[in-house]
Amino acid sequence: MRLAHLHRTRAANEDDRVLPLINVVFLLLIFFMVVGSLSATDPFAIAPPQSSNGEPGDPKDIVLLIGTDGRLALDGRVLEAASLKSAMTERLVDAPAQEVHVKADGAAAATEVVGVMETLRAAGVERVRLMTVPGGVQ
């Protein structure tokens, strides 16, 4: 009869050693889920130019990417330059006063960036902001 009692105690002790480990693993899992954040990546690599005055953009605003090779992406979707005006007009139907953030690569041709900005104006965009990376004045 005494052996049965020892067997039950031993089984309980094995569970007692595993439970704190499981608790720690779940706490670490919850910690990394809360602390870690997922962010949307750009469809192609962009290295914006540096400026002495940089302000963070509002995540609700429209973001237009301009690559070094002239590729365009509107809110994470790659599109052709010819369809930019129609895509912007369609996007501005819901919120006509919305600001457009242009995130151009620092090595992109200035004439390309200006041409895209003129297309945005023709599509009815009233506010355009060129996004830059904060840096020191050189």
Q: What is the DSSP letter of 94?
A: T
The verdict on 92 and 27 lying in the same domain is no
The number of folded domains in the chain is 2
Residue 105 vs residue 3, higher pLDDT: 105
pTM of full prediction above 0.85: no
Residue 55: band (very low, low, confident or very high) from pLDDT cuts 50, 70, 90? low
The verdict on 125 and 82 lying in the same domain is yes
The verdict on 12 and 77 lying in the same domain is no
User: Domain residues for 77?
Assistant: 50-134
> Angle 71-77-83 (CA atoms, 0-180°, nearest 5)?
65
50 within 8 A of 132, measured Cβ to Cβ: yes
Which range of 27-31, 49-53, 86-90 scores highest in mean pLDDT? It is 27-31
What CATH number is given to the structural domain containing 56? 3.30.420.270
Q: Give a yes or no: residue 120 inside a domain.
A: yes
Q: Give a yes or no: residue 128 inside a domain.
A: yes
- Helix 110-122 × helix 84-91 angle, to 10°: 50
Residue 91 vs residue 22, higher pLDDT: 22
The verdict on 55 and 109 lying in the same domain is yes
